[in-house]
Structure 1
C-alpha cells in the first residue's frame, strides 16, 4: 500500500494541476469498470469528486445572479442538487475503495446500504472518513484557485491584493493541515490504531421515493 503514503500531498497536487491545466473546472473523465486496477480506480473517483465539486462551485456562482429570470435560477438550483448528490456519491466510493484495500470493510457489503465494518481490536473510531477529508481538500483547492486569482487582479487596488494574499496563505495552510490529517489517519489505520467506516448520506430530498413533497406530487399526478 505504498501508494497511500503521502497521499495528502498527491491529492493536493492533483487538485491544483487539474484546475490549472483546465483553466477552470476540470473535465469529467469516464469511470473505469470495476475490474480496473484498484489504485487507478481510487484516483478516478478522487477526480470525479473534484469534477463535481468544481461544477457545484460554478453553479453556485450562477445561482446568485440578480439580472436573470427566476426560471434560470431554478435551473441552477436543480443542477446544484444533482452535482451535490454526485459529489457525495463519489466521496462514498473513495471510502469504499480505501476501506476494502485496508481490510476494514467486508468487500461483499462495501457498496450496499449497510456496509459491514471490520473493527481492529483496540482501534479508535475516527468520525471523519478519508473520503470526506479528500472532499474537503477539493473544496479547499477551489478556494485557493479563486483566491490566487484575486491576488493577480489588475483592476483592484494594492490593498485588495494584499488582503487576498493573506487569505490565500491561510487557505494553503488549512489545506496542508487537512493533508497531514489524511496521512495520519491512513497511517493509523494501517497500523491498527484507528479505523473509519463507509458513511451513507441517504440524501432523501433527491429521492422521489422519500421526499414527502415529491411523493405528494406523484400521488396527485396519479389521480389525474
Structure 2
C-alpha cells in the first residue's frame, strides 16, 4: 500500500499547526498539492469560522456588525462542511486509483476520515488559542492552572483522535471498511427548502 495512514495523519497535524501559526501573522495561503491541499482549504474555513465566532460574542459590537458576522459564520460553516465532503471524495478517488476494493464483509464507520480531519483542525485551533492565553500579562495562577489543564486534555484528545484516524484509514485502504460520502444537505442554506426563503420569494 503506497498510502501510509500514519504518515498522512502526522503530516495533517504538522499542516494544521504550522498554518494556524502562519495565518495569524500573514494572509491565508495554501502551498500544498493533492489531498493535503484539500485538507488545508478545509482548515482555512475553520480558521475563519473560529475568529468570526469570537467577534459574535463581543458585547461591545453593534447589532449591524453582529448580523454581518452571523452571515459570515453561516457561510464559513457551510464551506467547512462542503470541504469535509471533499476530503472524503479525495480519499475515494485515491482508493479507486489504487485499485482497492472493499471486502465482502467490509463495515461502515460512524465517522468519516473527513470528519475526523475536521475535528483535528478545530482541536489545533483550540490548542493554539489556549497557549495564547498563557502569554497574557493580566492573568493569575488560577487562570494559568485552568488553561494548562485544558491544554493537557486537548493533547490527549488530539493524540487519541490521530490514532483513531490512522487506524480507520488503514482499514479503509485495506478494504476492511467502506468509505462513503455523507452529504450534509443543510436545508437552511437552500432557497428551495428553507420556508423563510422560498415563501419570501413567492
TM-score when normalising by structure 2: 0.91
2:17 aligns with 16
Task: Answer yes or no: is 1:126 the counterpart of 2:109.
Answer: yes
Structure 1 residue 63: deviation in Å? 0.9
Contact 2:102 2:175 in 1 (8 A): no
How far, CA to CA, are the matches of 1:50 and 1:78 in structure 2?
19
- Within-5 A mapping of 1:97-116: 97-103=90-96
Q: Which residues of structure 2 form unaligned runs of 5+? A: none
Contact 2:109 2:178 in 1 (8 A): yes
Task: Answer yes or no: is 1:82 the counterpart of 2:83.
Answer: no
2:120 aligns with 137
Structure 1 residue 28: deviation in Å? 4.3
1:92 aligns with 85
CA-atom RMSD, angstroms?
A: 2.0
How far, CA to CA, are the matches of 2:130 and 2:25 in structure 1?
13
1:184 aligns with 167
CA 26–13 in structure 1, closer or farther in 2 if over 3 Å, else same:
farther
CA 5–68 in structure 1, closer or farther in 2 if over 3 Å, else same:
closer
CA deviations over 1:114-160 (Å, ceiling 9, x no partner): xxxx7531111112000000000000001001111112222101221
Task: Answer yes or no: is 1:207 the counterpart of 2:190.
Answer: yes
CA deviations over 1:66-103 (Å, ceiling 9, x no partner): 12221111111100010001111111001001012113
Select which of 55, 60, 78 maps to 1:62.
55
> Structure 1 runs of 4+ off > 4 angstroms?
none
Number of aligned pairs? 198
What SS class does the counterpart of residue 33 from structure 2 fall into?
helix
TM-score when normalising by structure 1: 0.82
